[in-house]
Every structure is written in structure tokens, then in C-alpha cells.
Structure 1
Amino acid sequence: MEKVRYLVATGVLAVMATGAATTARAEVSLFEQKTDASEFENWLRGTTLAGHIEGGISANPARPDNGINFGNFIGDHANQPQLNQFSLKLARPVDTSGGYSFGFTLEASYGSDSRYYHLLGISDRALNSRYQIIPAQAHVDAHLPWFTKLGVEMHAGILQAPMGPEAFDPSARPFYTFSYTGEYSVPFEHVGMMATIHVSPMIDVLTGIDTGNQTTFGRSDNNDEPAGYAGIALNNLADGKLTITELSRFGPENSRRVLGNREANSAMRFWNDIMAVYQVTPTVTLTGEFNYLHDDGLRADAESFVSYLSWKFAPEFTFNYRGEIYRDNTGQLVSNALTDEGYMNGVAGRSTPVESAPPTTYGALTLGVTWRKALTKDLGYFAIRPEVRFDRSLNGTTPFNDGRNSGMFTFGGDMMIGF
């Protein structure tokens, strides 16, 4: 079962990236349906258990002195293999075809990726090593026949952020590494509520409210104000081949430790993301993403464009391309934490060592192939995703390889087992 992203377009990208349409992740029903069971027992028997294990490496021939591939979170440690994720998910999906339906999603993840997806006050102090543990998702889900004939999908609890095409779940994105936009210009995780109102088969209205990006409540919120989402998804355009999603987020996101209470609670951050997914043929998909972020408190902004192409050229093979231009206008957004707890210390406003760069326009090109094989006809998969990537400063700065170079070449990838 793919991660709940609440956006139709992301599901399209996940399928085109991994070939999941024919080798979907295994979902094991924990119970069998019985005609003589109570309604609650039959509801409980819809529960499924799924999981995956992922490990990878991002090799850098330049061997940076500090061991960091600058501008990368997931593949940040140069030339070092790592266990990225070991995840288990227990879920009861909702039925969206009729009246009231209720479910839940519980997912825990352990590995190096978890260093960047913590929630303040819940998991950020659980472990301080390179491999850490998080509640990747923990929410109740509902389909409610409200407002329109098609109803509303609601999710409340610990939610993975819906913005952008690159998901925490590695099987739901095309590459091992992330784009700059997917790391620095979209949020990661929330405590709150999100809803999709199905106005018509063509139009969905997206909305939500939460405590902030990777924060919770009270002293575990880096300021005292909420944040939220508003957007729209246009589905089934161009004879069902095109989906366009616009999603905006707004609210204070900076820490009172950095700006003081008054400014931290009033300085707004605006995130804006537009994504279009076009199914050219049954085997070729194009995706484009434009993103603009502005932060009043940091007096920082960034704009970017990312293009993707996916070509499933054989039943078990998919070629993927990603090209990106990302402008960090002040040099305050693109940075790397130099300790295992550094990223979340930064979210909390605590002092932490980081590697940063001056204002830079980044260009990045990533090419890869996914080989994905079903382990049995209906249960499980094995996937290998080699990739090559070239990053370069387009305005003459030298942010890469511990500040030595204007460009950086990396290669590697990951392996996944889904069950």
C-alpha cells in the first residue's frame, strides 16, 4: 500500500516511477472476512500489514574532507553504505465509494532517513545515533458523505506532508536522492488534520491545519501559532491524461529561540507548489513542478523548477530523468547538518554545526533505472535503483566537496525489499 499523500497527482508519479501498477507492494490481510461476523469484526478484518527495507549509498569520487555530499539529506554521507529505512505499516483503508467509512494508518520507521523526519517532542530525543526511529504516520482516516455527492476524505494525527511529488516512502518516488526542492522548499511531517473535498470528478479542494512543520504542542512547538494548507487539484484533464495540483502553505515556522517570541509568532512563511503530471502514453509520463518559498522572519526566499520523465521500457524496467534549477537567494535555505541530531536541533532553534553556502543558483541532473521484480505473483517485491547525478553552481560559487568545487558528481542508488 502506498503512503497516503492525499494528492492524486503524487499517486500517479509513484506508479510511473516504480512500475507499481503491475508489481504493487504486498499488503497482507491480518484476518479473513466472515459472513456471520459482527460489523466491527468485519471492519477489523480489513486491516493490512505491509513493510519495506531499504539501503543505499551515494558515492563521491572527490571524497569531500568533511564526508558530506552537500545539498543532500538522504545520501548525505559520501561513500558510506547505510540502512535508510526499515518500516512497518498497519492500516485499515477507508472505502471511498459510498457513505461513512473509517480507518487508520500506523507506521514506524527506523534508519538513517529518520534523522530528517522527526517531530519535536515525540521522537527527536529517542535516539541520538546515525540510525534513528520515528512514527512515520499515525492517523485516523475517514470518508464522510458531506458537502458534495462525492464526499470528503479526512485524516487527523501524525501526517506526512502532502506537498510535492517526492515522498518519504522510497517506493513512491523515482530516485534514491531527493531534489533540492524536495529537501529545502517543502515540509516533511505534521501533527494536525488534512481534508480533501471532492467537489466533482474533476475538482478536489485541499485544506488542512497543523502545529507547524515537524513540531507538536507546548514547548515542543518552536512558536505558538498554527500553520495550514489550502489548494486545489484538477483531475482527469486532457481525456484523463493530465492532473494539476496547486498547494499553498502559510504560517510562522521559525523558532522563538532565534527570533524571539513576538517575531517568531508573527513572521510568516509562505510555501507555494504547483505540480502537473501528464501521461503521454501508457509507458511514458512527464511531471513538472514549480515551487516558490518566502520567509518573512529569515528574510529569505527560493524559487525552483523540477522536471521529471519516466519511461517504462520493459515490464520490469523503468528509466527516470530529473532536471532541476533551484535558486537560494540568500544562502540560508540550502545547508547540511554536520551531526546526527543537527537537523532537528535546527528546527528547534538550538545551536548546531552546519555546512552552508552563499546565495547560489543550483542546477542538478539525475538519471536512473529502476528494476523491480515481484517476489511472487501477489506478494512482495525486490527493487534496485542505480542513479548518477551531477550538481553544479550556475553562478560561480563553490558550495560542493567541503567548499572546494563548483560542481559535484555522485553515483550509487539503493535496494528495496517490500513485503
Structure 2
Amino acid sequence: MTAKGNLWRDSAGESISTVPLSGDVTADLCVIGGGFTGCSAALRAAGAGASVVLIEAETVGHGGSGRNVGLVNAGLWTPPEEITQLLPDQAAGFIARLGEAPAEVFRLIERHQIDCEPVRNGTLHLAHAEAGMADLRNRHRQQAALGAPVRLLDAAETRARTGTDGFHGALLDMRAGTVQPLGYARGLARAAIGAGARLHEMTPATAVRHEGGTWHVTTPGGTIRAGALILATNAYHRPFDGPGVPPVVIPSFFQAATAPLPEATLEAILPGGEGCWDTGLVMTSVRRDRAGRLILGAFGSMEAAGRGVHLAWARRKLAALYPALAGQAFTHAWSGRIAMTGDHLPKILRLGPRGLAAFGYSGRGIAPGTVFGAALAEALVSGSEDGLPLRPVDGHRDGFAGLRGAWIETGATLVHATGARF
């Protein structure tokens, strides 16, 4: 059986209808990129009464937002004490803001009745080895010191929650949950359209310049003139003539989904619906969707030569975690790109007067992207940057970004080919 592509495209409950931009238009704000950040920005700005035009080179959620695992996590991969070292004068507010980010996601889902399979029963960070358990103890200590509702689970409770004895323990974070990510992105877009924003899919930016106090965004079908600009293309940035996103490390993360499993089987596999990922260097993710599919993910691309290697590993991994599922076919397999910065912290880049870009969520796109997009829009509409989660920077550079991305891809392929862990 040949696995089809992106499951989320087949199962998304939300849809929108747009047409490519045609002609010249003016707006208060132009947003380039139709993922979590861009759609959140368009929704917030339009809700504040601004005229908004959002353009997307493909379709809403085409990039990482529509290929995401769907874990709505609190905070970042980087633990609080490390963030404090990197951002000593911004860390407290930044950590608190992202700790509250999942609540904002689920509030938006409820307010706009977004059909995206929301489940808020927490997420499990799983210890793949005893060394991973030591890492989780450290993370638990740091999060608990800040008052986060996190709990360290032993191997027995982890087994009861996951249905497998493949892990040494877990860190449960009750702030978090899961969504169908493409449904969420499309739902934000639908809400933005309802608030008055104009969205144009299949409309790439070919040139961007600031002249005479106005941003001029050229597309194949026309030009947008706007007082403010948000660039929200992240790992799927397409170079154009003008300021863009600087090079960052861009590895791929793939997922493989089974057919819906019988109810009797699901009673023992993630019965609470938590989304999971482990502490392995070549990380593995595990979750269920509303239909009862089990979805396994890891670093690697389904669009490159290693596809067969990664799928073979996924079959072995599935059987190792859940022996009853040995031989279970995958009906879908797909991958998406992740934009990772060297310090694993997102950046807000100043593009010019009233022009900002956000990028580099390093695998935590849903909640931070939602918060960053809304904050960028609010700052540009109001004229005050006080509410931004981070201060904008004038430039960013990650050395050897391309080589580092290739190293991650190669390492994941070797690990999956040999079955080794490192």
C-alpha cells in the first residue's frame, strides 16, 4: 500500500475560498504569508479596524503550519534558565507570555468556532532513556519554580497514559494540548476574512520596497501599497527583490499516519488524547487524531531520497512501541520544514519603517506563532511596540545554516537506517 500525502489536507474541517490578487490595492497593513503568524496578524489587525491584505504564495497553511504535528505547547524547547541567560532583561515577560500562549490559541478556537479537533488534556514530554529522565527532572524543576502546572510522571503512569513501556517517564504539562493544525490555520484565515481582511492565495510577492512612507509589494497580478508590513514566511520564505528572512537552519520533520484504529485498540493507546514527543536527539512524536489514527513523527523528509528509510523506521518504531500494531500500514506520510535559530529562540526582525518579520520558532509554531502574529499586528496598528513579546532586532545571522540543516537531515537518515539512538 502506497501512503498518500498530507493527512491534514484530507481531514481538515475548515476551508476558505479566495482568488489571486488582481490589480492595485491599498491597505493599512500588508501581510506576506498565510500560516499561523500571518493569519493571526491579519485577524488581530482587521479586528482592530485596520484594512488588511494578506497574500500567500500557495494556499493558507501550505507551509509548516499545515504540516505541523499539532502540539499546542507552552513555552519553547529552550528551558527557562537558558532563556534567562540569553535574554536577561526580557526573559521574565517573554516566558510568561509564551506560558499563556496555549490558552490564547484555545480561546481563539472557541471564540471563532474553529473546526480543528481541539483537545486540551496536556502534552507529554517522554524520556527515551534514563538520561532523558534527568533532563525532564531539570525541566520540571525550572517550570515548577515559575508556578507552571507541570507534573513529573514515573514509568508506570507514563505507561498507563501512553499504552507503551517504551519510555522511562514523562513531564506532563496541563497548559498544552493538540489541534488539527491545517484546520486551525484555515480557521484563523476564515475569521480574519470575517473581520474584513482580504486574503489572496496563489499570490507570491516578487518585490518589496519602502518608498515615500509606504510599503510597495509587487505580485504577478498587481501591487499592494500599505502603511505597514508583516513578513510571516518563516521556513517557507521565497526570496524576492527586497528585505527578507535571513538564512536559518531548516531541517524537515515527517509524520506517518495509520488508518483509524478500532475502539478496543484505542482504549489502551493515549486514552487521554495527549500529544507526545520524546527526549531523543533525533526526536520522535506520537499523537492521535479525532478519527483514531495513530500518527508517528521524526526528523527527516518525505520529499527526498531518504523517504523509504524513514518509513521503514516508522514501521519498526510503531511495532516496538505498540506490538499489537506490528504490520499496521501507514495511509499517509508527509513532511514539513522547521525554521531553527542557533539559540532556538524566535526573532522579530525590523525590515524598515513600520515593517516587521517574525521567524525561527524552532518547532514550536502554533502557540508562539499565534501570539507573535497578533502582537506584531497590534504594534503596527497602534504605533507602540511595548506589547511585543521580544524587542525587534535589526539583523540576524546564523553561521553555516545550510550545512547544519543538512547535518540534521543526514543524521536522522543514518539513525533511522541503523535503528541506533544518539
Say whether the fold is shared (TM-score over 0.5): no
Richer in helix (by share) = 2
Richer in strand (by share) = 1
Q: TM-score, normalised by structure 1?
A: 0.24
